[in-house]
Structure 1
Amino acid sequence: MNTLTCTVRHLWRMAGNTEQLPQLTSLYGGMGSINDVVLYENAKPLLDENNELQALLSDLYELCAGNR
Structure 2
Amino acid sequence: MELAGLVSKVYQLEKKVDQFDLRFDNVEQELKEIRKELAQVEKVKNSRILIKRRSLKLKSG
TM-score by length of 1: 0.34
Between Structure 1 and Structure 2, the one with more strand by share is 1
TM-score by length of 2: 0.38
Structure showing greater relative contact order (alpha-carbon pairs closer than 8 Å, 6 or more residues apart): 1
Between Structure 1 and Structure 2, the one with more helix by share is 2
